[in-house]
Amino acid sequence: MAPASAPSKPRTSACARHLAYVSRTMTPSPDPVYVRVVHTDRRDTSIAPRDVLIALGVAIVQVVGSVGANHNQSWATPLDAAGFVLLVCGPLALLVRRRRPVTVLLVVLAVTVLYVARGYGYGPVFLSLVVAFLSAATAGSRWRTYPILAVGYVLIVFAVPAVSLAEVPSLLALTGIAAWLLVLLAVAEIIRQRRGTLDARRQRAEAAQRSTLDEQRRRASEERLAIARELHDVLAHSLSLINVQASVALELWDSRPEQSQEALAAIKIASRDAIGDVHALLASLRGGDDSPPTAPTAGIVDLDGVVERARAAGLAVTTVVEGTPRPLPAVVDVAAARIVQESLTNVARHSGGSSADVTVTYSPTSVRVRIDDDGRGPDGAPSGGGGNGIPGMRERARALGGELTAGSGPGGGFRVQATLPLAHDTAGRA
């Protein structure tokens, strides 16, 4: 045992090395990501300045163009006040086309049919009908808007001329109007497809943003769990040994003062090492790659270094190594060392045992650690819900794709055994 006044070398614990690895490999938490959810199924229903300009432009074209068209058609009824009112009613209805697209389409169709039925000449009066149809066809269901186009065609070219002064269109005119209506349908479909593509892109972008945010939260949660696990391992192991040694010192203070002094010296060393571990852990978190370990740390390859504190606390620990020791991936090395230390801590705190056997077995695909003690067995071991010891060790093993069992030993006492695989993806992270 080192004297109490022996200076300590700069060291960084295995948890600090592991946390430095975590801070390098886990995505750091960036600035908060705010996801703006766009409701793509709701259109803007307000009257925008653009709508006013469109309605004004349609009104000007219809009024000016219809005056000229009406003069060039000898059969047409001269435009009067009622005709100009009808030419303006359609554009006025377009102002609310975003709010009530189908209703506006029906109103504009009725105005156009009435205009033609009064005998005014054909011309740009159909422009407001085109705008209203495109607005309704691209904003709502096809089955509610496309039939209106066919109804309007029948009314204007067949029904109205039959009951009014309007001229019956020729076969060539009927064919031309039908062709223009097909073009109008094609334009409506193109606009619908374009909007559908844009909506799909927006939805994919929003889904990607939400997925990124969820992934960042998941990684941040994993980082917090890793930090909490490392702090628990450092503090619980050291404080448990300090507690055991303090009990020994108090019990032997009067009868064997020399042994109580040894216990106090062990307390000093354990507390000093724990403080150094915490400082090194915090330095690794703050500095990342800029704060590398200042000295080699004890991993499972240095098995005697891993069990040193337990021996200093008075626990008789026997170590056995089977197979050929070799460097391990950092995460496996840290996990194996932590499982051994936590198991020995449980022996000192709960089992009442005085000795433990630690066996490390190396194989080509895995490393296995086994800890057997001579304590009271499962009845003296901490339950799964009583702390973070066994659940925490099991969590470590599962995180690496391994397994951990804890229960009665073959000769009594308690046994903890963990098998950690040396997978290629784990090895690559060392």
Alpha-carbon gap, residue 309 to 155, rounded angstroms: 98
CB contact set of 303 (below 8 Å; sequence gap of 6+) = 319, 321, 340, 358, 360
Confidence at residue 419, expressed as pLDDT on a 0 to 100 scale: 93
Q: Would you mind telling me the total number of residues written for the chain in this entry?
A: 430
* pLDDT tens, the chain, 430 aa long: 333 343 444 444 444 454 454 444 444 444 444 444 444 444 555 678 888 998 899 999 989 888 888 888 777 788 889 989 999 999 999 998 888 888 998 999 999 888 888 888 888 888 988 898 888 888 877 788 888 888 888 888 777 777 776 677 778 878 888 888 888 888 888 888 888 889 899 999 999 999 989 998 888 887 777 777 667 666 766 676 677 667 767 777 877 777 677 777 777 777 777 777 677 667 766 665 444 444 445 678 888 888 887 787 778 888 999 988 888 888 888 888 888 888 888 887 766 667 889 999 999 899 999 999 887 655 544 444 334 578 878 888 888 889 999 888 887 788 999 999 987 444 444 4
For 356, phi and psi rounded to 5 degrees?
Answer: -150, 150
Alpha-carbon gap, residue 422 to 401, rounded angstroms: 9
Confidence at residue 8, expressed as pLDDT on a 0 to 100 scale: 41
**Secondary structure of residue 388 in the 3-state scheme:** coil
Confidence at residue 334, expressed as pLDDT on a 0 to 100 scale: 83
Q: Which H or E run contains 22?
A: helix 14-25
Backbone CA torsion sign across 264, 265, 268, 274: negative
Burial class (CB within 10 angstroms; exposed 0-12, middle 13-18, buried 19+) of 74: exposed
Confidence at residue 160, expressed as pLDDT on a 0 to 100 scale: 77
The model carries a pTM of 0.45
Alpha-carbon gap, residue 346 to 276, rounded angstroms: 22
Alpha-carbon gap, residue 237 to 348, rounded angstroms: 10
Q: With the CA atoms of 255, 259, 264 and 267 taken in that order, what torsion angle do they form, in degrees rounded to the nearest 10? A: -130
Residue in 275, 340, 352 with CA at minimum distance from that of residue 315:
352
Confidence at residue 403, expressed as pLDDT on a 0 to 100 scale: 92
